[in-house]
């Protein structure tokens, strides 16, 4: 099976959002594959975030910067001359987007414009992966998976910002990137990812782990919401495979792709909490009052036929394994194992599975 992993050896790769949850796992993985990794992001929010805990600052070339400032990202790209750009920096939280809509649009839309414009002006770049979200689709709360050519939309500021980022990508693709030789760009849409080292607020796994570590009940506001949960390594494997395919044959593979779990792996928030407790060994769940001021979509899932068919990409870890790996990461680190070593072991296990 083509994994594309060997493509990244000694390549200069820029990751925006490397201090965040997904970006830090991607940076660690690319470093493990022999890439020369550069990161551009705001500083990590917490000293125990995955970026800091996994010792990334010693392994990659990180620069603190703000994607809302065009000159900063333009100058950085000009200086390092990357061949690959993975754009992950964003304000990624739905609830925060209700409280800070302008920040969300400035970062997710304005920031994406700045990244794509900098890529347009930096001719060393051969491959661009722009990360948006499954929430870019107009959510009709139906049982069918969304396909890449379904309607975009979003009722809350976060979803709308990601749908708009998709339009920005599409305009750059049609207006500039299609005509650029030896260059491929793609937008990628994944669902709710879980895994070790995420300590964000208002996310199910960090909320559960905080409760379990403090011997408190896990409070669930929206227990029946169904999400396409997947381990963080799953969509990242899709991004890596797509990037390697575009490096070889950009015009054949460019475009938009969904990377989600099998539809039978759709589970509720309650299922995640229950499964985490079973791997943690102890814990309880308390259902609290539903937040009606900040409604969240109940049902959303992705159709990934395009990634299966064109890339041969399939998820490897089912729901149980995903939650097990996630719980193990937090348990091992709490038990004294170095985060860096747990992350490395999980990446190797994923690559070998
Ligand atoms: N985590 C998920 O379940 C999920 C699901 C779908 C899509 N996504 C998308 O994946 C990407 C990464 O998400 P994550 O979960 O790792 O988020 P995260 O909050 O853990 O990380 C966000 C990163 O963006 C950086 N950032 C934010 N504002 C910035 C700015 N103005 N300038 C520079 N850097 C800035 C942060 O410093 C951090 O490195 C985002 O684009 C997000 O929308 C995440």
Residue 49 in any domain: the answer is: yes
Residue 296 pLDDT greater than 90, yes or no? no
Domain count across the chain: 1
- For residue 230, the enclosing domain spans 11-352
pLDDT bracket for residue 252 (50, 70, 90) = very high
What does the pLDDT average to over 23-35?
A: 98
CB atoms near residue 85 (< 10 Å): 28
Residue 23 in any domain: the answer is: yes
CA of 20 to the centre of ligand 1 (A): 6
What span, in angstroms and rounded, lies between the C-alpha atoms of 304 and 298?
20
Residue 187 in any domain: the answer is: yes
Residue 29 pLDDT greater than 80, yes or no? yes
Residue 1 pLDDT greater than 80, yes or no? no
Residue 4 in any domain: the answer is: no
Q: Which atom of ligand 1 is nearest to the CA of 111?
A: 31
**Whose CA is closest to atom 22 on ligand 1?**
20
Residue 141 pLDDT greater than 90, yes or no? no
What does the pLDDT average to over 75-94?
A: 97
Residue 293 pLDDT greater than 70, yes or no? no
Length of the chain: 353
Residue 171 in any domain: the answer is: yes
Name the pTM for this structure. 0.97
User: What pLDDT, on the 0 to 100 scale, is given for residue 278?
Assistant: 96
Residue 125 pLDDT greater than 90, yes or no? yes
pLDDT digits (tens, 9 = 90+) for 166-194: 999 999 999 999 999 999 999 999 989 99
* Contact call for residues 109 and 166 (beta carbons, < 8 A): no
* Contact call for residues 157 and 318 (beta carbons, < 8 A): no
pLDDT digits (tens, 9 = 90+) for 260-273: 998 888 899 999 99
Read off φ and ψ for residue 66, nearest 5 degrees: -120, 120
Residue 299 pLDDT greater than 90, yes or no? no
What span, in angstroms and rounded, lies between the C-alpha atoms of 160 and 256?
17
CATH of the domain at 238: 3.40.50.720
- Beta-sheet strands, E only, within 159-300: 184-190, 193-194, 218-220, 226-227, 230-231, 255-259, 267-268, 285-287
Q: Which atom of ligand 1 is nearest to the CA of 18?
A: 39
* Contact call for residues 297 and 141 (beta carbons, < 8 A): yes
What span, in angstroms and rounded, lies between the C-alpha atoms of 169 and 265?
30
User: What pLDDT, on the 0 to 100 scale, is given for residue 264?
Assistant: 83
Residue 297 pLDDT greater than 70, yes or no? no
CA of 24 to the centre of ligand 1 (A): 10
Residue 1 in any domain: the answer is: no
List C-alpha distances in Å: 275 to 62, 207, 269: 36, 14, 10
User: What pLDDT, on the 0 to 100 scale, is given for residue 147?
Assistant: 97
What does the pLDDT average to over 295-314?
A: 87
* Contact call for residues 8 and 29 (beta carbons, < 8 A): no
User: What pLDDT, on the 0 to 100 scale, is given for residue 255?
Assistant: 98
List C-alpha distances in Å: 2 to 14, 187, 250: 23, 21, 16
What span, in angstroms and rounded, lies between the C-alpha atoms of 200 and 347?
21
CA of 93 to the centre of ligand 1 (A): 8
Angle at 89 between CA 85 and CA 94, to 5 degrees: 140
What does the pLDDT average to over 339-347?
A: 97
Percent of all residues in the chain with a pLDDT value above 70, rounded to a whole number: 97
Residue 291 pLDDT greater than 90, yes or no? no
Burial pattern 245-283, b for ≥16 Cβ within 10 A else e, equals bbbeebeebbbbbbbbbeeebbbbbbbbbbbbbebbeeb
| Average pLDDT score, the chain | 95
pLDDT digits (tens, 9 = 90+) for 40-73: 999 999 989 999 999 999 999 999 999 999 999 9
Residue 75 pLDDT greater than 70, yes or no? yes
The counts of H helices and E strands in the chain are 15, 13
Q: Which residues pair with 14 in a beta bridge?
A: 38, 85
List C-alpha distances in Å: 25 to 130, 146, 192, 194: 16, 26, 15, 11
What span, in angstroms and rounded, lies between the C-alpha atoms of 28 and 129?
17
Q: Which of 109, 132, 130 is nearest to 120 (CA)?
A: 130
Q: Is 62 helix (H, G, I), strand (E, B) or coil?
A: strand
DSSP 217: P
Residue 2 pLDDT greater than 80, yes or no? no
67 lines ligand 1 (CB under 6 A): yes
* Tokens matching residue 350: 């994923």
User: What pLDDT, on the 0 to 100 scale, is given for residue 227?
Assistant: 85
112 lines ligand 1 (CB under 6 A): no
136 lines ligand 1 (CB under 6 A): no
User: What pLDDT, on the 0 to 100 scale, is given for residue 222?
Assistant: 86
CA of 40 to the centre of ligand 1 (A): 12
CA of 90 to the centre of ligand 1 (A): 4
The C-alpha R_g of the chain, in whole angstroms, comes to 19
**Per-residue 3-state assignment (H helix, E strand, C coil) for 283-304:** CCEEECCCCCCCCCCCECCECC
Residue 2 in any domain: the answer is: no
More confident residue, 92 or 296: 92
Residue 3 in any domain: the answer is: no
What span, in angstroms and rounded, lies between the C-alpha atoms of 82 and 86?
10
Read off φ and ψ for residue 260, nearest 5 degrees: -140, 175
pLDDT bracket for residue 295 (50, 70, 90) = low
Greatest Cα pair distance, the chain, in angstroms, is 57
């Amino acid at each position: 099976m083509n994994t594309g992993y060997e493509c990244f050896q000694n390549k200069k790769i820029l990751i925006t959002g490397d201090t965040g949850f997904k970006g830090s796992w991607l940076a660690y993985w690319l470093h493990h594959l022999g890439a020369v990794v550069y990161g551009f992001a705001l500083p990590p929010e917490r000293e125990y975030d995955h970026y800091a805990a996994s010792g990334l600052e010693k392994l990659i070339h990180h620069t603190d910067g703000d994607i809302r400032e065009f000159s900063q990202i333009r100058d950085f790209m000009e200086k390092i001359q990357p061949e690959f750009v993975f754009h992950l920096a964003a304000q990624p939280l739905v609830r925060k987007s209700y409280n800070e809509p302008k920040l969300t649009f400035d970062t997710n839309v304005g920031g994406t414009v700045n990244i794509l414009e900098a890529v347009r002006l930096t001719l060393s770049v051969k491959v661009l992966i722009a990360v948006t979200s499954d929430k870019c689709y107009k959510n009709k709360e139906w049982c069918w998976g969304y396909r890449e050519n379904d309607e975009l939309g979003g009722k809350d500021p976060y979803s709308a910002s990601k749908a708009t980022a998709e339009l920005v990508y599409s305009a750059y693709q049609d207006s500039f990137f299609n005509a650029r030789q030896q260059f491929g760009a793609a937008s990628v849409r994944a669902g709710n990812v879980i895994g070790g080292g995420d300590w964000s607020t208002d996310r199910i796994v960090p909320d559960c782990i905080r409760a379990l570590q403090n011997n408190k009940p896990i409070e669930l506001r929206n227990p029946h919401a169904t999400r396409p949960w997947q381990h963080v390594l799953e969509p990242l494997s899709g991004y890596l495979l797509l990037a390697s395919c575009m490096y070889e044959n950009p015009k054949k593979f460019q475009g938009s792709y969904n990377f989600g779990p099998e539809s039978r792996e759709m589970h509720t928030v309650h299922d995640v909490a229950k499964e985490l407790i079973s791997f943690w060994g102890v814990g309880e769940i308390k259902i609290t009052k539903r937040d009606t001021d900040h409604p969240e979509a109940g049902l959303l899932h992705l159709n990934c036929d395009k990634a299966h068919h064109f890339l041969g990409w399939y998820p490897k870890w089912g729901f149980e394994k995903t939650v097990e790996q996630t719980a193990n990461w937090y348990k091992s680190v709490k038990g004294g194992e170095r985060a860096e070593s747990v992350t490395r072991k999980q990446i190797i296990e994923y690559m070998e599975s």
